[in-house]
Amino acid sequence: MIAVNEKWLELADVKDELAVRDWFMGTSGNLAIKVADEPLEFLVTASGKDKKKRTDEDFLLVDGNGQPIIERFLTPSAETLLHCAIYKKTNAGCSLHVHTVANNVISELYGDAGKIDFQGQELIKAFGLWEEDAVLTIPIIANHADIPTLTREFESTISADKGAVLIRNHGITVWGKNSFEAKKLLEACEFLFQYQLALQLQLK
């Protein structure tokens, strides 16, 4: 129970930081943090909650299939299965999913290509890419309404313990070894998206 409480507060702090940036418009977005490996258990945001407020019902504990363990009166976020896929395939400890104007526009502009590449920008170093010619590739997948279908395509893009995937006209999911790394990757991605959009305006 101590571990659950500590992780709860850790995830609540991340939620508060992202809420200040208005990254949870219309109660959108969801966050998760791993509590245990065997069996897999993690905290995930409850569906339909105002993430700008901190309450005792912000998160619920779920199992490896995304099913509630204790708080039966709360409903896990719709994309909980995405977090399940991450924790089953990687050693990540935290995963974050947000909807912003920038990541939605980028996902539409580059959606047909199925990816967006960044090279030469300083913030790709957040992903551990330090080589002179390093390229950060962020996959873009279709926004399937059926969550199991979305999860299967999402799962096919997971190849490392940290990463990011855009869902077209939906949002971005990032994951890392802990909440600090996951938040760092999310911030880096959002910076890169805003940079790319601003650059395109200048080139017109």
Query: What residues are designated binding site for Zn(2+)?
Result: 97, 99
Q: How far apart are CA 77 and CA 48, in angstroms?
A: 8
Residue 59 three-state SS? strand
Tokens of 95: 């995963």
97 contacts 151 by C-beta, under 8 angstroms: no
| Positions at the binding site | 97, 99
The CA distances from residue 138 to 17, 56, 83, 95, 174, in Å, are 24, 35, 17, 16, 10
Residues with Cβ within 8 Å of residue 188, at least 6 apart in sequence: 123, 124, 126, 127
Tokens of 184: 């760092």
